[in-house]
Amino acid sequence: MHLEQILQYDEWYRAPDSLLQQANIKDFAAEYQRSIDDPEAFWGAWASRYAWFTPWTKVMEWDYPDHRWFIGGQTNITLNALDRHADGPNGDKLAMIWVGEDGAERKVSYKELRDLVARFATGLKSLGLGKGDTCIIYMPLTLEGVISMLACARIGAIHSVVYAGMGVGALRDRILDAGAKVVIAGDQSMRRGKPVTLSGIVDEAIAGLALEAVVWFQRGEPRALKANEVDFLALLNAHGPDTAPEPVDAEHPLYILYTSGSTGKPKGVVHVHGGYMVGTGYHLRGFFDVKDDDIYWATSDIGWVVGHSYIVYAPLVEGVTSVFREGAPDYPDPGVIWSLVERHKINVMFTAPTAVRMFMKFGPEYPAKYDLSSLRLITVAGEPLNPAAWRWANRHLLDGGQRGTVADNWWQTELGGPTVATHFSLPGKPGSAGVAMPGAVAAVVDADGNDVPKGKGGLLALRRPFPHMMRTIWNNHERYTQYWNEIPNVYAAGDVASWDDSGYITVLGRSDDVLNVAGHRIGTADVESALITHPAVAESAVIGVPDPIKGEAIKAFVVLALGSTPTDETRQSIVAHVRKELGPIATPGALDFIEKLPKTRSGKIVRRLLKAQEVGDDPGDLSTLED
Ligand code: AMP
């Protein structure tokens, strides 16, 4: 049975000429075609921009479902992220600007960052951490968190960042699954002006484990350190910057990152030094269109893949200046993000639909207070970007699209970088993620792996690998092969989607969340996007609940917009609105007002929890949940 797309979007926007004239990729179609006709030449050419200890002899090997890139090549991602710039003309260029919640700032040049990383790397070696060993990083979003990641990479150790805020069970499971030898942890993070204590969580999570060392980044009262514990700054300061990047095979694991778990159990996705560097670096220039002089800001966290690829690795590999900020996006006030765009003259910003919906909820008066004239591109990923949110961002953040545009991009922890997206040289279609990016071949298929006709819905799939795609699932290669074996001959993303006549792909939600109403299979995104266009609705989530006649009926959960009241009238008005937009099939049979939607800590709505509460199912793994 096909999936149906019921909300039809047919609204197209063009980016302003000013953007197109200075684009890093001017002819997207030609660029894409080159990447598909001869991937080895395409990726080989990009890889040649970077420093290698030993050149590769072959660009790729594809032995379904395993793929390897830059065979025989030796490099280290930090050779390119740090040394290539520190020792070149960019040595004094700002690499990173960290902003604290209280407005504190730290700026480091490429030379300074290289030295800090080299010193900390020496420190980690002194603790016995070496090539191929794993290290868990449980750190607030600070420069020290970034240094921890880069120092591991520099010595060929494999880091696994666990978002600082995940609970004891989640942290302990990841330490055990990764087989970590060392844990680098912060004692506190900052949220809403207050320190959040992390040390208790860490202490409980590591209790009884035979770790070689625990490194504490301490902001609060210094603790009485145990025999295997050491202070972060003491370790850093005890060593000179004498650790050079360890030559590693291009396929050497760089990191393990456990998936966000909006469905099911977290999996340890493995990315490698070579291909990941090449592919994420390429898209920073190609898709994000970042220029050498740009100031770029991704509002993510090092706990997520966006933080790995687009706070830390790609911007450094490409030698640009990036901003990152610790703390809540609406604290100390809902204008703080825009005040920083003004202050740092941000040119390109990467954010998430959940953030855009929050900005909408607070209203356009906040961005209106600041000079956002530097901003030309806002890229958004993580969940379906509702058309209403797309339009709002375009209108209120980019001067109605006169100064720049919004670029939706779909990807996953497993994929490392933008995979189905709207490069700004293509017409933007709010609600639709776009088309396959260079290197990727995306399709909407049926259960046998055949393309569904254009205009129809089905399963989102990829037909070939690219360099920055995961290589395996840590400790579970069998689980990796399932991605490629679930549907014959393709990588199954686990999302449902539809495509239109021009090939634009609209992601309609996770396959596990699909609604099944009277024989119609409907993605959650359509109904939620229709809900959010009602003025009383700030956010929504829908689930299917058992219904004796229809199989499933739709139940909606709505967070009201500021100033709206949870009355029967409001409820009826919202339901009537959805009926008008989508017709009777997709009209919610029930609607509850709630204060907050359950979300992962990365901001994704967790519908399965609402469903579990509603129908009494087992909610599955909740370790990545916010509350
Ligand atoms: P994660 O691995 O945590 O990054 O989550 C990946 C999932 O997020 C995808 O499989 C999609 O369900 C969702 N997702 C990410 N980006 C988008 C997007 N631009 N549009 C729709 N869904 C998205």
Mean pLDDT computed over 586-609: 92
pLDDT at 326 exceeding the cut of 80: yes
Angstrom distance (rounded) from CA 355 to CA 347: 18
Q: Taking the chain, what is the end-to-end CA distance rounded to the nearest angstrom?
A: 36
pLDDT at 626 exceeding the cut of 80: no
Element (H, E) at 324: strand 321-325
Q: From the CB of 133, is ligand 1 less than 6 Å away?
A: no
Q: What is the pLDDT of residues 425-446, one digit of tens each?
A: 999 999 999 999 999 999 999 9
pLDDT at 263 exceeding the cut of 90: no
Lowest-confidence pick of 4-13, 190-199, 236-245, 579-588: 4-13
Q: From the CB of 496, is ligand 1 less than 6 Å away?
A: no
Q: Which of 259, 262, 470, 496 to mutate to test the pocket of ligand 1 (most atoms within 8 A of CB)?
A: 262
Contact yes or no for 490/484 (Cβ under 8 A)? yes
Q: Which of 521, 525, 490, 520 is nearest to 510 (CA)?
A: 525
Tokens coding 93: 């260029």
Angstrom distance (rounded) from CA 350 to CA 318: 16
The pLDDT assigned to 119 comes to 98
pLDDT at 332 exceeding the cut of 70: yes
Report how far ligand 1's centroid is from the alpha carbon of 260 (Å): 10
Q: What is the pLDDT of residues 529-559, one digit of tens each?
A: 999 999 999 999 999 999 998 889 999 999 9
Q: Which residues contact 209 (CB under 8 A, 6 or more apart)?
A: 172, 175, 176
Q: Which atom of ligand 1 is nearest to the CA of 493?
A: 10
Angstrom distance (rounded) from CA 601 to CA 260: 8
What share of the chain has pLDDT > 90, as a percent?
91
* For helices 39-47 and 273-286, angle between their N-to-C axes, nearest 10 degrees: 90
> Residue 357 in 3-state DSSP?
helix
Contact yes or no for 421/45 (Cβ under 8 A)? no
For tokens 């909300």, the residue is 7
The pLDDT assigned to 6 comes to 81
Question: Which of residues 332 and 7 earns the better pLDDT score?
Answer: 332
Q: From the CB of 112, is ligand 1 less than 6 Å away?
A: no
Report how far ligand 1's centroid is from the alpha carbon of 209 (Å): 34
The residue ranges of DSSP E strands in 449-550, in sequence order, are: 457-462, 472-473, 491-499, 505-510, 515-517, 520-522, 537-547
Q: What is the pLDDT of residues 556-572, one digit of tens each?
A: 999 999 999 999 999 99
Contact yes or no for 188/220 (Cβ under 8 A)? yes
The pLDDT assigned to 47 comes to 98
Angstrom distance (rounded) from CA 474 to CA 483: 14
The domains located in the chain, with CATH, are 109-246 (3.40.50.980), 514-615 (3.30.300.30)
The pLDDT assigned to 8 comes to 77
Element (H, E) at 600: none
Tokens coding 172: 């302990």
The pLDDT assigned to 347 comes to 98
Contact yes or no for 405/394 (Cβ under 8 A)? yes
Q: Which of 410, 486, 621 to mutate to test the pocket of ligand 1 (most atoms within 8 A of CB)?
A: 410
Lowest-confidence pick of 242-251, 264-273, 461-470, 475-484: 264-273
Tokens coding 312: 């830390």
DSSP alpha helix (H) spans, 214-352: 232-237, 273-286, 305-307, 314-317, 336-344
Report how far ligand 1's centroid is from the alpha carbon of 241 (Å): 39
Q: From the CB of 260, is ligand 1 less than 6 Å away?
A: yes
Write the residue with the smallest CA distance to atom 21 of ligand 1. 384
The pLDDT assigned to 519 comes to 86
> Residue 138 in 3-state DSSP?
strand
Q: What is the pLDDT of residues 70-100, one digit of tens each?
A: 999 999 999 999 999 999 999 999 999 999 9
pLDDT at 627 exceeding the cut of 80: no
Q: What is the pLDDT of residues 155-176, one digit of tens each?
A: 999 999 999 988 999 999 999 9
Angstrom distance (rounded) from CA 604 to CA 549: 31
Q: From the CB of 268, is ligand 1 less than 6 Å away?
A: no
Residue type, 415: L
Angstrom distance (rounded) from CA 119 to CA 240: 5
Angstrom distance (rounded) from CA 239 to CA 81: 21
Write the residue with the smallest CA distance to atom 9 of ligand 1. 412
Write the residue with the smallest CA distance to atom 20 of ligand 1. 384
Report how far ligand 1's centroid is from the alpha carbon of 422 (Å): 15
Report how far ligand 1's centroid is from the alpha carbon of 410 (Å): 6
Total Cβ atoms within 10 A of residue 399: 14
Q: Which atom of ligand 1 is nearest to the CA of 306?
A: 4
Burial of 244 (0-12, 13-18, 19+ CB in 10 A): middle
Q: From the CB of 384, is ligand 1 less than 6 Å away?
A: yes
The pLDDT assigned to 1 comes to 53
Angstrom distance (rounded) from CA 432 to CA 504: 7
Q: In what order do the strands lie in the sheet with 472-473?
A: 229-231, 213-217, 182-186, 134-138, 158-161, 253-258, 268-272, 472-473
Q: Which of 371, 363, 611 is nearest to 510 (CA)?
A: 611
Mean pLDDT computed over 345-369: 96
Average pLDDT, the chain: 95
HEC profile of 565-599: CCCHHHHHHHHHHHHHHHCCCCCCCEEEECCCCCE
Angstrom distance (rounded) from CA 157 to CA 135: 7
For tokens 């939620």, the residue is 528
Q: From the CB of 528, is ligand 1 less than 6 Å away?
A: no
Write the residue with the smallest CA distance to atom 13 of ligand 1. 383
Mean pLDDT computed over 485-511: 96
| Pairing mode, strands 505-510 and 188-191 | unpaired
Half-sphere exposure of 60 (CA within 13 A, CB side): 24
